[in-house]
Amino acid sequence: MIQTIGIVYILSLYLSIPGFIGKAGYNWLLGFIPFVNLYYLVLTLKIEPILLILVGILLIVFPERILIGTCIVMFLPFMIADCFETDLFYSFGCLILPFIFYCIFSW
């Protein structure tokens, strides 16, 4: 059951990335290309490259990788909502029901 919820969460985020990229002012078609869409999402969220390197190293060497992944999944809706200047209610909605709120937000 937990794996199904995780798959739905990641799938809803991935399908709404073109909308996020389009709202940020980039070409929304770039959102369908893997790794390019993550690059533009990181540019939009203004995440520092040092932080990305640190998280990547921790994901390689840290035995409890699920803890780092859970932290990323927990903070990502708040970062997206802050970047696009929405309220706190909307970020909690993205955290609890991502398949609804991410799709609404990316339109």
Model pLDDT for residues 6-48, shown as the tens digit of each residue: 788 888 888 888 888 888 888 888 888 888 888 888 888 888 8
Separation CA 57–CA 20 (nearest Å): 27
pLDDT at 48: 84
**Residue, of 20 and 1, whose pLDDT is higher:** 20
pLDDT at 64: 83
Separation CA 15–CA 12 (nearest Å): 5
Model pLDDT for residues 76-96, shown as the tens digit of each residue: 888 888 888 888 888 888 888
Alpha helices in 1-107 (DSSP H): 2-23, 36-45, 49-61, 65-83, 88-96, 98-105
Q: What is the pTM of this model?
A: 0.73
Model pLDDT for residues 37-49, shown as the tens digit of each residue: 888 888 888 888 8
**Are 30 and 39 within 8 A, CB to CB?**
no
